Amino acid sequence: MPDYQAPLRDIRFVMNELLDYPAHYASLPGGDEASDDIVTAILEEGARFAHEVLTPLNQSSDREGCTFEGGEVKAPSGFKAAYQQYVEGGWPSLAASPEHGGQGLPPSLAMVLSEMVASANLSWGMYPGLSHGAMNALEHHGSEVLKQTYLTKLVEGSWTGTMCLTEPHCGTDLGLIKTRAVPLDDSDDSKGHRISGTKIFISAGEHDLSDNIVHLVLAKLPDAPEGSRGISLFVVPKFLPDANGEAGERNGVSCGSIEHKMGIHGNATCVMNFDSAKGFLVGPPHKGLACMFTMMNAARLGVGIQGVALAEASFQNALGYARDRLQMRALSGAKAPEKAADPIIVHPDVRRMLLTQKAIAEGGRMLVMYAAQFNDIVENAPDSEDKARADTLLGLLTPIVKAFLTETGFEATNHGVQVYGGHGFIQEWGMEQFVRDARITLLYEGTTGIQALDLLGRKILMSQGESLKVFTKEIHKFCQASEGSEFANPLAELNREWGELTMAVGMGAMQDREAVGAASVDYLMYAGYVTLGYLWARAGETAKAALTAGEGDTAFYQAKLDTARFYFQRILPRTQGHAAMIRAGGETLMAPTVEGFGSGFEI
């Protein structure tokens, strides 16, 4: 059975040495609550919970899956007890507002816990994970009545949440949704609406872990404008609250079926039917998509964390296997002459795969925690120029976190299988589960292609490149301060090229409207590699300084420096392939006729 131990030393390096989280927390209103002692206790207890409670359930839940009978879903054995421990530990309330029963700690701390949970058991982590997005939406857009009724229960953890967007006939194009909301009283929206329609692919839509499930549902009012401008958001509980605020009468919400999936078998992915279910408007009428984006952006960061988490889990197990598995002799001579063969970790190609996994997992952790600082500022800092800058950078980084870290995370899990060889393909070793579980991260909360269009089209070109300039200016300042270092010069060149590529795509789009779509995924991957290059450069310089100062923990800092060098020499050159494809434009993509793909296709 695969194991997982939270990489606390690396987490502390990122938080304390690379990104100076103590100073960051001190700058936030109420940030003094996140003292070193509190943060250490949270990290250590989170690591214990992930290792002792969740990891042992990961493989068994994959094999058992969820059961569906009579409209009711039961999660795999052990999940309910684990969730009860999670609630008793106060984890759902960690970063929630004290006004609604939360502990008021910075959201970034909850993100660290999310990584540990996803590494240990991704399927289990999705049940409470969806609740955080629902909390964010209600916190920002819900009325005070909705907050007191639903948000307090979500913060407490006795109720869980979902987000219900997708319908059988539409996924990304939400303007096509057919779910309808009819007011119960035309003169007073607060009296509620009757919600009717079907939603699909609803993670944690039905289960037995909590007393109630709070669905946030997109629907259209009778007077809704056409398209996405006519979408409204509603709270639709599984059970309507009674006079005491507890789960009471069953609402018109039911699970029609659960999906049989490639991975995440322990999480129920549901078809949800709303049959004149009572729901309550969140935010203004017809502004539901804007309200839902609060939830979706939080979820996109969460999915990026899942990519990092699975890369880490796969890497830990592949590393342990490579140290023990004996196979052939090293080409330079026996490294373990007392044994029949050398451990496979001596072979260059195995090291290539392990170092790629390590660079992806540790680099991805840096990126998540870097973005998390901006999220803290946006959520907690008073209105200021710093908050505006943080909002710009968070908007720019979110599609990179979501898409790039899941693409590379999936790559890392495949390397894990390859390190094991044939054993990696066998279910009992658990490595193939990481691959199957990781595959969904490239799809839900917006595919890689959707995130790429968001990054290039919406975030960069629509701002005339201003959002990108904020970030590339930061990279430029680092390169100037580190001029002459082994990392600064190649990073500075890529930073310059990034601007040139952006301008080239923008100019091409003036002549060809398909140019943005043709370049977008390569552009996102290029952006991801450069962004990780910036953070690995900072990590390499930090490690180098610690080694020069003789601060101890020499093996850790040397490994960090070695990995930074590996990233720059063996992974960062991938940017040049993406740059060439960006420059190639869209002609070869769009030139073939539909018939050119094969017979029998018509548009």
Q: Which residues are catalytic?
A: 445
Q: Which helix (H) or strand (E) holds 279?
A: strand 269-282
524, 498 Cβ separation under 8 angstroms: no
In the 3-class helix/strand/coil scheme, how is 193-232 assigned residue by residue? EEEEEEEEEEECCCCCCCCEEEEEEEEECCCCCCHHHHCE
CB under 8 Å to 555, separation ≥6 — which residues?
Answer: none
Strand partners, 160: 213
344, 326 Cβ separation under 8 angstroms: yes
11, 116 Cβ separation under 8 angstroms: no
224, 230 Cβ separation under 8 angstroms: yes
Q: Among 529, 508, 515, 495, which residue's Cα sits nearest to residue 589?
A: 515
Torsion of CA 450, 451, 457, 458, to 10 degrees: 110
The beta strand positions in 92-211, using DSSP E, are 159-164, 180-183, 193-203
Burial of 244 (0-12, 13-18, 19+ CB in 10 A): exposed
534, 526 Cβ separation under 8 angstroms: no
Characterize the bridge pairing of strands 159-164 and 180-183: unpaired
Q: Among 87, 57, 90, which residue's Cα sits nearest to residue 75?
A: 57
- Say how far apart CA 503 and CA 392 lie, in whole Å: 19
Burial of 538 (0-12, 13-18, 19+ CB in 10 A): buried
Tokens read off for 538 = 């900072």
Torsion of CA 398, 401, 402, 405, to 10 degrees: 170
Q: Among 522, 530, 460, which residue's Cα sits nearest to residue 498?
A: 530
